[in-house]
Amino acid sequence: MTDFLQQFFASAVMRESLQPAFLIALVTASMSVMIMAHRLSFLTVGVSHASLAGMGLALTLSLPLLPAASGFAVLIALLLALMPRSQGISEDAGTGILFAGSMALGIILVSLAPSARVDLFGLLFGNILTITPEEVSWLRLLGGIILAVLMLAARSWWSIAFDSVTAAASGLPVTPLRLLLYGIVGLTVILCVKLAGIVLTAGLMILPAACAWFWGRSLFGLWVMSVLFSLTGTLAGLLWSYAYDWPSGASVVLALCGLFIISWSLYGRVEWLKHHVLKQ
Amino acid sequence: MNAPVVQLSNIGLGSVGRPILENINLSLDTGHFLGIVGPNGAGKSTLLNIIAGLKAPDSGHIDLFGQCLRRYNRRALLKQVGFLNQLQERQPRLPMRVRDVVAMGLPDFANPIRWRRLPDEPVMDALAMTDMQHLADADFRQLSGGQRQRARIARALVSKPRLLLLDEPSAALDSARQDKLFQLLRQQCDLTGMSVIMVEHDIAAISSHVDSVACLNQRIHHHAMRGEQIPESIWKAMYGEHIRIMSHDSGCIGCGPGGTQHD
């Protein structure tokens, strides 16, 4: 076991990908609390799939991949925030439409691009092991922005998630704050696509907070716990990926799913004990 | 004399064919406890939302604390207003302790550049006012409906607002709790000079606590001070011909003498 861990940390590929993977885990876990609170799970699915169109566009127009995709994802997220209200379409239908449409556009654009330049499989399922230094610095920039905004706006977002009418009556600018939240969720999706890929991004953005939801009693406690769950899942996933040569993104998401099941069943057990043993 | 806490002039909402509120004029002094009654769909909640700055009226003018309510000063003015909106059907889903729910009512709660912890005393004081201090650390989601409502009322009170707007605060409370709540509000008005506008269904329950009652159905049909009777014609204009009024006692606002029985 120790040999294996030594090998793992000695491997150059893993050493280089561990730090960005942990950064992604920290940022997505922090945002996942807000995604759970505001019920934006389906939005993250929609935006992550829509980002394929952004990447396809970037490839066709020879723009830098991550910045172009980031801009596109924010645009889609804001569009989703604004669309349902003005046209009377429910939010999940709106997300479904944009999700399918931009995914179709993305597949066509990517398939038209010169194939040597595109790793469609990597885009879809993520591969942290192939991360380049430019991508690392872009991830750091994005992660910094997301965490800074989250620190400033977390309590306002939390208050709006609890009761948006009362939040508005206390003078909070609810609509601008909500748009900001959607935009930041869009950015987080892009950050996450490198690790988990378009298809699995939602896993990283929902599972950490979902694991913590059983145990948390306050915003801060939830945040700490979802970060811990996320870091544990990421490390476990990368170890698996290294040991058995599994795809890294899928391993991380699978590890998080395992943590969720453990957390869930443990909570059920604890509640059962509380009701049956402590009451006697 | 200070400027009135709330001054509404000619507030109107809705189109000419389908008015929601028409020509609302209302003035509220410091320490005044106003009850608004009226049938379902009379625009009671809408009027409260307009005063809380959540909805802009189509016509008319709102002054809060002597200042005109506008977009740029909305935030500063609303910091002095406590607001309890109507109890919603959907269940709360955020994991929060009761004390944190109440702390959300403090004006500094969402301040992005606050690093220090919020003080604990106002939160505990507000919880004590609604007899909820023993549940301060309980999970808000696991409270009963009445306990949740009391926590929400504590949240509205925690910032010690100069004006408190309550939309059916007695919902989910039993009659003993309702009476305690109205006594608490009466006491706060008398002791701290807080003013209250409260929307309620049941005029009989509130009439011995409030200073005045406004009867609202699209417009204010009558504004009765304590000890004043609301003529039967007003009730009929508001609720229709089928209503009958039952008298309680002479100190009760709104009840005409010699009425027969409730419909």
Count how many domains chain A has.
1
The model's pTM is 0.86
Determine contact: A267 vs chain B, CB below 8 A.
Answer: no
- Res A86: pLDDT: 62
Across the interface, do B81 and A169 touch by the CB < 8 Å criterion?
yes
State which amino acid sits at residue A141: L
Q: Which residues of A touch B104 (CB under 8 A)?
A: 159, 162, 166
Query: Rounded to the nearest 10 degrees, how much is the dihedral formed by the CA atoms of B132, B178, B107, A26?
Result: 50
Tell me the mean pLDDT in the region A71-96. 79
CATH number, domain at A141? 1.10.3470.10
Identify the residue with better confidence: B115 or A271.
A271
Task: Quote the tokens at residue B95.
Answer: 């994991």
CA–CA separation, A212 and A205 (whole Å):
13
Coil, helix or strand at residue A280: coil
Identify the band that residue B261 occupies on the pLDDT scale cut at 50, 70 and 90. very low
- Res A84: pLDDT: 62
Strand order in the sheet with B81-84: B81-84, B163-167, B195-199, B33-37, B212-217, B219-225
User: How distant is the Cα of A228 from the closest Cα of chain B, in angstroms?
Assistant: 18
> Could you tell me how many helices (H) and strands (E) chain A has, helices first?
11, 0
Tell me the mean pLDDT in the region A2-10. 81
Tell me the mean pLDDT in the region A135-159. 92
Domains of chain B: 6-214 (3.40.50.300)
- Res A87: pLDDT: 65
User: How distant is the Cα of A107 from the closest Cα of chain B, in angstroms?
Assistant: 38
Spatial neighbors of A151 by CB under 8 A, at least 6 apart, are: none
Residue B263, pLDDT > 50, answer: no
State which amino acid sits at residue B235: W
- Res B235: pLDDT: 67
Across the interface, do A166 and B84 touch by the CB < 8 Å criterion?
yes
Residue among A39, A151, A166, A218 with most chain B CBs within 10 A, to mutate: A166
Q: Which stretch, A23-27, A123-127, B112-116, has highest mean pLDDT?
A: A23-27
Residue A269, pLDDT > 80, answer: yes
Residue B125, pLDDT > 60, answer: yes
ipTM: 0.82
Domain membership of residue A219 as a residue range: 2-276
Q: Using CB atoms, pick whichever of B52, B95, B107 lies closest to residue A169.
A: B52
